[in-house]
A = this chain, B = another copy of it.
Amino acid sequence: MPYRPTAKTQARRTERRSALLKTALAIVASEGFQALTINRLAKEAGIATGTVYKYFESKAHLCSEVFRLATEKEVEKVRAASFPKQPAHSQQRLANAVTTFAERAILGGRLAYALIAEPVNPMVEQERLIYRKAYADIFEQLIEEAVTKKEFPPQTAHVSAAALVGILSEALVAPLARGIPITDHNNLVKAITQFCLRAVAG
């Protein structure tokens, strides 16, 4: 048996794969999923079209991974803000979570639109559902705890949680979708945060 994949070749493979992913993400971050084609990706990565398929089963799978790569860290940030090491009042935690999401979305610019709202394909839509659910779950847990501790008024936690996700999507992405750059970051974030606090914390 003459040939066996070795640690070195494996590493090389893994590295190429993540380099591809990184290139793909760069395209999406600057021009959206709409600009991510296999041909373009291959060209920018300096490889042949077919080679992409040695690393990714299909375009849809590739998009999924790009989406996950970009979204996972966002979710983590929001989770961290929601459940900090230091104990904090629920209201403050929610405010931090919302602010974190909003600020990162605004900084993200085109990428935020791509992740939250750009029409892509069913597989990414699926992925999106999963991450919306992830955000909603974080909020839901926070709210439930707070209601138990009487820091928030009684409410249907999972509806409130979904509603928060909706608020963040729409309030941030509506301007982006219209191509209007957000000018007054701070006030926008403040207004959204206040709205959320009124809604959930009463």
Contacts and interface: CB of A to CB of B under 8 A. Distances in A.
Given A169-B169, A195-B199, 4 more contacts: A119-B125, A129-B177, A132-B170, A159-B195
Contacts of A147: none
A202 interface: yes
Contacts of A194: 155
Contacts of A166: 163, 166-171
Size category, A interface: 35 or more
Determine how many copies of this chain the complex contains. Answer: 2
Interface in A172-202: 174, 177-178, 187-188, 191-192, 194-196, 198-200, 202
A202 B195 CA distance: 9
Contacts of A170: 132, 162-163, 165-167, 169-170
Interface of A: 119-122, 125, 129, 132-133, 136, 153, 155-156, 159-160, 162-163, 165-171, 174, 177-178, 187-188, 191-192, 194-196, 198-200, 202
A188 B156 CA distance: 9
Contacts of A178: 129
Given A169-B166, A170-B165, A159 B188 contact: yes
Contacts of A199: 195-196, 198-199
Contacts of A120: 119
B119 A195 contact: no
A163 B171 contact: yes
